């Protein structure tokens, strides 16, 4: 065995333990870093060829691995823009230059421009929702934008869809055709029940629509919609003009009371607004009184954004000061076949590499992507107790390897001094 080889092996061992101590120090330093993934040092042997009667010591080489696929525990907060993931997937962020990265650090707050940015200065990315539609790209970052909750102007959203669920009384009297609206548009018009709903036109003005429900035959009903602005001083008939916004007829199953008409909705042209499609599919004809159960119509009047709410499916919902809600973005998640082989970058972000594989983009709770939690943060996966144990072990091993080097140096001194 060569004395020089023994000394080089000792140095190799010291370098390996120094790398291990470096990884341990990173873990301890980042034990409070949101979304940090612990690092560990793996050792592999280097064996040199040996001949008969002589052994050549080799050494070791080290590889630092980041356990990126390991989930951290959740810590709940009071901020709706704090995001945590459970399972596979990464939030997509970008730096100030627009370069995309992956991260699990979800502590986001709005910057002066309203863009959601985390503590490392990376901006949260998502798809804008336009007219209720999202255009995702499955294998790239195209179409993603910085998620901004700022609003420089007021937005009025006209009503387009709604839901109306009620119980129509099966025992109600049948109203003759000549007595019911719209055939009779006078103050003497007869009907079974009436409900007014609030809608919004293109400018955000409130338009109240009066819905009249009239039983026309056994298991048959007619619905007539009128603009409340045209009502008489009493709030009802006669309307001027007398023409309704629309009328629709429905039939119900005599046994179950369920709506069995082919068309289970009513379309109302809101004055100075859009075509409003109201879903009646859950309305039934049962015993008892007329009872509205659920009435919901979208749209809002001009109002600034007051807050945002982020759903489990990644939908960013703007909450306006007038109480209205509107979906403005949908958060996308990315994943790779081998997340532990992602490149680790400064700022607790990751970048795809040749070993990690190509990215796949999707939404929370779908496919293999994990679950998104709003109002929570993923804690560091560093275990201080384990890291302190590893630190002591690495220190002892470093000392042992230094003894090997020192012994080799002492033997070298003996060899050099043999002639003295």
Distance CA 253, CA 247 (A): 21
Q: Which residues pair with 32 in a beta bridge?
A: none
Q: 11 preceded by cis ω (within 30°)?
A: no
Rg (CA), the chain: 35
Q: Are 165 and 236 in contact (CB under 8 A)?
A: no
Q: How far apart are CA 242 and CA 265, in angstroms?
A: 23
* Nearest C-alpha neighbor of 65 from the set 42, 46, 45, 47: 42
Domains of the chain: 3-67+381-419 (no CATH), 74-150+330-378 (no CATH), 156-302 (2.60.98.20)
CB half-sphere exposure, 301, CA atoms < 13 A: 8
Residues 6 or more apart whose Cβ sits within 8 Å of residue 392: none
Tell me how far apart the alpha carbons of residues 406 and 175 are, in angstroms, rounded to a whole number: 108
Q: State phi, psi for 344 to the nearest 5 degrees.
A: -90, 125
Residue 206's contacts (CB-CB under 8 Å, 6 or more residues apart) are: 198, 199, 200, 301
Nearest to 364 by CA among 106, 35, 141, 88: 88
| CA 75 – CA 380 distance, rounded (Å) | 10
Residue whose C-alpha is closest to residue 225's, from 251, 261, 199, 201? 199
| Rounded-to-integer distance, Cα 303 and Cα 124, Å | 25
Estimate to the nearest angstrom the gap between the alpha carbon of 104 and the chain centroid: 12
Please return the burial class of 152, using the count of CB atoms within 10 Å of its CB with bins 0-12, 13-18 and 19+.
exposed
pLDDT along the chain (420 residues), means of 10: 77 89 92 91 83 75 90 92 93 94 94 92 93 86 90 76 96 94 93 96 94 96 96 94 94 94 90 95 95 92 84 90 82 94 93 92 90 94 91 91 85 79
Burial bucket for residue 367 (CB in 10 Å: 0-12, 13-18, 19+): exposed
Bridge partner residues of 311 (DSSP): none
Spatial separation of the C-alpha atoms in residues 45 and 287, rounded to whole Å = 82
∠ CA 127-133-136 to the nearest 5 degrees? 40
308 is written with which tokens?
């945002």
| Phi, psi of 17, deg, nearest 5 | -70, -30
Angle at 172 between CA 171 and CA 173, to 5 degrees: 120
- pLDDT for res 290: 96
């Amino acid at each position: 065995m060569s004395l020089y080889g023994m000394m080089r092996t000792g140095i190799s061992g010291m370098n390996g333990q120094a790398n291990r101590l470096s990884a341990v120090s990173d873990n301890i330093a980042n034990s409070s870093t949101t979304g940090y993934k612990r690092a560990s040092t793996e050792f592999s042997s280097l064996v040199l060829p040996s001949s008969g009667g002589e052994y050549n010591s080799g050494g070791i080489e080290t590889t630092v691995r980041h356990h990126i696929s390991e989930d951290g525990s959740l810590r709940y907060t009071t901020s709706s823009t704090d995001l945590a993931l459970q399972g596979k997937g990464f939030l997509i962020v970008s730096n100030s230059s627009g370069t995309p990265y992956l991260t699990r650090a979800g502590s986001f707050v709005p910057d002066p421009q309203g863009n959601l940015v985390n503590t490392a200065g990376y901006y949260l990315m998502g798809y804008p929702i336009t007219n209720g539609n999202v255009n995702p790209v499955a294998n790239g970052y195209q179409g993603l934008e910085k998620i901004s909750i700022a609003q420089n102007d007021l937005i009025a959203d006209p009503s387009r869809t709604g839901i109306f669920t009620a119980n129509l009384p099966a025992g109600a009297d049948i109203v003759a055709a000549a007595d019911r609206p719209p055939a009779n548009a006078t103050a003497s018009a007869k009907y079974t029940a009436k409900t007014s709903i609030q809608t919004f036109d293109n400018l955000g003005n409130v338009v109240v629509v009066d819905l009249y429900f009239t039983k026309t035959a056994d298991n048959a009903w007619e619905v007539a919609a009128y603009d409340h602005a045209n009502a008489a001083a009493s709030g009802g008939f006669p309307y001027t003009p007398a023409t309704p916004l629309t009328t629709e007829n429905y039939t119900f199953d005599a046994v179950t009371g369920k709506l069995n008409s082919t068309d289970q909705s009513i379309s109302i042209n809101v004055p100075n607004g859009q075509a409003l499609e109201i879903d009646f599919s859950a309305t039934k004809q049962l015993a008892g009184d007329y009872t509205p159960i659920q009435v919901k119509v979208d749209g809002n009047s001009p109002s600034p954004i007051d807050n945002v709410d982020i759903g489990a499916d990644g939908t960013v919902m703007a909450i306006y000061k007038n109480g209205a809600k509107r979906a403005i973005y949908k958060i996308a998640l990315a994943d790779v076949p081998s997340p532990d082989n992602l490149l680790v970058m400064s700022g607790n972000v990751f970048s795809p590499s040749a070993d990690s594989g190509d990215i796949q983009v999707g939404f929370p709770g779908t496919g293999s992507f994990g679950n998104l939690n709003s109002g929570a943060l993923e804690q560091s996966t560093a275990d201080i107790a384990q890291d302190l144990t590893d630190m002591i072990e690495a220190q002892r091993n470093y000392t042992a390897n230094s003894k090997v080097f020192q012994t080799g140096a002492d033997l070298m001194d003996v060899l050099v001094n043999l002639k003295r």
